[in-house]
Chains A and B, each alone.
Chain A
């Protein structure tokens, strides 16, 4: 059956070994892509005709914002799988996502403020995009706080998974906020249908950085997932084998 892979993904020893093996395959390409993107973004890309050199903040701001959303969607999807199929490993994935997502949401917000000051004349405005991104930070923090408030891991898994799944409605709100409402924030130039409205020399480093950050998340997720699986499975026999090798 094609479903065997799904069952194997539900097996903690299999997932632990898989995560161990995959980590370098995420980490090294991520490092190379990020270094290449930094060179492309800071050196090779031409200055913007309106924003001059200031536009280069995009190479850290947009990938951080992408991470904040992509990690949340991963967390919500893993939570849903955990709730529907009662899969412990899926809950472990969701729990591993939250701190990473929260930290990059904070990066997206602060780099956005630093970009907003010279371009819009203000660090902060209660604008739909900015406000919904701030709500995302509170969702992550709420998720982490909720998890921490339960001693029982399984109850923490279930309750926090419901919050993660419900909170996913905020993701399209963030993405389309700049289209639906009048926003200070510019509309998407890459993450949309049709051709990107950005020059190739500017676009390529951005795509490299987006790919690099995504792979970086993969590497961090593998490390955190291993820790999470070890913590949940402590005292079981396979761990002796897994840790002795």
Chain B
């Protein structure tokens, strides 16, 4: 296992590369989901306001 983690001496370059890419992937999921949740909430608020007026 530690042999695997050492990656033949390249660990200090390899694992940060994987970590950065992982973070970018996860952040993309979080950002997109948050954007959609906000857009939905905003649209629902607006619909509620419209419904109240008519």
Contact = CB atoms under 8 A, between A and B. Distances in A.
A198 interface: no
Interface in B40-54: 40, 42-44, 46-47, 50
Contacts, number: 99
A91 interface: no
A227 B35 contact: yes
Given A110-B20, A114-B13, A223 B50 contact: no
Contact of A107 (B4, B8, B20): B20
A212 B36 CA distance: 22
Given A53-B7, A60-B21, A234 B43 contact: yes
B7 A230 contact: no
B46 A235 contact: yes
Contacts of A234: 42-43, 46
Interface stretch (A81-89, A96-104, A137-145, A177-185): A96-104
A53 B13 contact: no
Interface in A29-79: 34, 42-43, 47, 52-54, 56-57, 60-61, 63-64
Given A107-B20, A226-B36, A53 B10 contact: yes
A71 to B, nearest CB: 11
Contacts of A42: 4
Contacts of B31: 99
A192 interface: no
Nearest to A108: B21
Contacts of B40: 227, 230, 243
Contact of B42 (A52, A63, A231): A231
B39 A60 contact: no
A220 B32 contact: yes
A129 interface: no
Given A53-B8, A234-B42, A104 B13 contact: no
Interface of A: 34, 42-43, 47, 52-54, 56-57, 60-61, 63-64, 99-100, 103-104, 106-107, 110-111, 114-115, 117-118, 216, 220, 223-224, 226-228, 230-231, 234-235, 239-240, 243
